[in-house]
């Protein structure tokens, strides 16, 4: 069983479209994250959630809206996609905010 | 400002030789430090962490890291490198509640 799973794995879409990425973890963790990895492999945190509540929004544009319907899921919706949104997006989870994170395999988003 | 630096973009080492991947950090308070590895087209995998205790931390796949408070460093080491260790390595530091900063990554290439 995959611990942290993201869908889709690849996403190609046109500028201006709206898209969603889904994330589920079966580890029973309380904390979930979204990270963005750019073309230079720089990894930056976008959002942190704990027990479905938003804790960190790291100056991400309002076009990005995370949603956590329950503790095991953290989805990412992106409105009005821009070329600069092209990146690999990683979902991760951890038992709490002091421990290591378990990462999904990533979603490669390409905006054309 | 809290930060983490990986001064080397790439490290080349011959198989069987010891390897070191460098990481320095700047945080307020006691540092929580992590190393992750990323294989191509995969998510990050946790290797080891330092929170408190012994300065030499042992982790997965024979890796270890040495915490040096005076030099604010947390270098990743392995006594004998394998070709399969070739990957991208990230150092990370806890930069606040639910917030982590990742280094820019170091590509390790182990030559047969």
Residue B76: per-residue pLDDT? 98
Q: How many Å lie between the alpha carbon of A95 and the closest alpha carbon of chain B? A: 11
A31 close to B (CB below 8 A) = yes
**Are A64 and A7 contacting, i.e. CB atoms less than 8 angstroms apart?**
no
Distance between first and last Cα of chain B = 41
Q: What's the pLDDT score for residue B37?
A: 97
**Interface residues from chain B to A (CB-CB < 8 Å):** 32, 34, 36, 38, 41-46, 49, 51, 88, 90, 94, 97-102, 104-105
Q: How many CA atoms lie within 13 A of B68 on its CB side?
A: 12
Positions in chain A whose pLDDT score sits under 50:
none
Residues of chain B neighbouring A97 (CB-CB closer than 8 A): 94, 97-98
Q: For residue B1, what pLDDT band results from cuts at 50, 70 and 90?
A: confident
A-chain residues within 8 Å CB-CB of B52? none
pLDDT grade, residue B41 (50/70/90)?
A: confident
Could you read off the pLDDT of B59-110 as tens digits, one per residue? 999 999 999 999 999 999 999 999 999 999 999 999 888 889 999 999 999 9
- pLDDT higher at B24 or A51: B24
Half-sphere exposure (CA, 13 Å, Cβ side) for B43? 23
d(CA B63, CA B35): 10
pLDDT of residue A1: 64
């Amino acid at each position: 069983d995959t611990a942290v799973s993201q869908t889709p794995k690849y996403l190609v879409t046109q500028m201006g479209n709206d898209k969603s990425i889904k994330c589920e973890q079966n580890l029973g963790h309380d904390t979930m994250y979204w990270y963005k990895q750019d073309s230079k492999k720089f990894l930056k945190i976008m959002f942190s959630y704990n027990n479905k509540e938003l804790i960190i929004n790291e100056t991400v544009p309002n076009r990005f809206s995370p949603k956590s319907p329950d503790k095991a899921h953290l989805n990412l919706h992106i409105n009005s996609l821009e070329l600069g949104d092209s990146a690999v997006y990683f979902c991760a989870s951890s038992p709490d905010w002091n421990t290591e994170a378990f990462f999904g395999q990533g979603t490669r988003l390409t905006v054309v | 400002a809290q930060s983490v630096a990986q001064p080397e973009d790439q490290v080349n080492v011959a198989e069987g030789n010891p390897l070191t991947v460098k990481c320095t950090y700047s945080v307020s308070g006691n540092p929580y430090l992590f190393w992750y590895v990323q294989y191509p087209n995969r998510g990050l995998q946790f290797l080891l962490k330092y929170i408190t205790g012994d300065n030499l931390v042992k982790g997965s796949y024979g890796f270890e890291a040495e915490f040096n408070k005076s030099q604010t460093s947390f270098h990743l080491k392995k006594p004998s490198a394998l070709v399969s260790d070739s990957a991208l390595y990230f150092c990370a530091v806890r930069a606040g509640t639910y917030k982590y900063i990742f280094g820019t990554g170091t590509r390790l290439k182990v030559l047969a």
